[in-house]
Amino acid sequence: MMKFVCLMLILLLTACDGLQTVAEEPTPTPTNVQWETYTVADVNLTFTYPSGWFVHEAGKALQITPNAQPAWSSVFDPDEPHGGPAFNLMHNLNRQMAATPLAEVESLLQAYEVDADIEPISPAAALDDRPDVVVGAYRFTVDDDTMVLLVGAVTNPAANSPQPVIAMTGLVKSDELTGMQPIFEEILRSLETAD
């Protein structure tokens, strides 16, 4: 009987050794994100954004989001992607923009501070590798939900544009900041003229 038990145990261990482990799909991070290029024809600019995300046009701004519908849409389809972060790229505003990316970020922050108590997580500063790109992250609470406001700006790569900088804002949940801030920064870094 003992020989039988030992034989069964060996067969069982041998059979289990042959099982393959199914690898899970890696969670998208800025280092493994697939990127697509979007062209803003009316201002001759391009930028990259994560594959599978959407770019929604709103005249003077674009919303870049994993959501199938823009935040301003009254249409909601629960079967479509929704509920993710939204980045608003302000590429063609009819207002006086600040002369530098840092000044534009500070101007945008002043507008937000009117409606919310904003606490800096990482104050606006130029990126180490791109001094023409400024990004800051700020925490605030709305209806007991803690959110993060990402604010950034870049020197306009279109030299003939009357708008000296292009700004972008984004709202993300606190637990999404680590994954979303590098994507936010990469979109700003990638802005260039469409040749």
In the chain, where are the structural domains located? 36-193
Range in 90-99, 134-143, 159-168 the model is least confident about? 90-99
What per-residue confidence (pLDDT) applies to 143? 79
Coil, helix or strand at residue 91: coil
Write the single-letter amino acid at 149.
L
pLDDT band for 83, please (50, 70, 90 cuts). low
pLDDT band for 75, please (50, 70, 90 cuts). low
What per-residue confidence (pLDDT) applies to 22? 38
Residue 151: which of 164, 173, 130, 166 has the closest Cα?
166
How much of the chain exceeds pLDDT 90, in percent? 47
Q: What is the mean pLDDT of residues 1-10?
A: 38
What does the alpha-carbon distance between residue 191 and residue 47 come to, in Å, rounded to a whole number?
5
Q: What is the mean pLDDT of residues 138-148?
A: 87
pLDDT digits (tens, 9 = 90+) for 10-43: 333 333 344 343 334 444 445 678 999 999 888 8
pLDDT digits (tens, 9 = 90+) for 155-186: 999 888 888 999 999 999 999 999 999 999 99
How much of the chain exceeds pLDDT 70, in percent? 76
pLDDT digits (tens, 9 = 90+) for 60-70: 789 999 888 77
CATH superfamily, domain at 36-193: Mog1/PsbP, alpha/beta/alpha sandwich (3.40.1000.10)
CB atoms within 10 A of CB 60: 13
What does the alpha-carbon distance between residue 114 and residue 116 come to, in Å, rounded to a whole number?
6
Spatial strand order in the sheet of 35-40? 35-40, 45-50, 192-193
Residue 186: which of 154, 163, 145 has the closest Cα?
154
Which has the higher per-residue pLDDT, 98 or 3? 98
Report pTM: 0.78
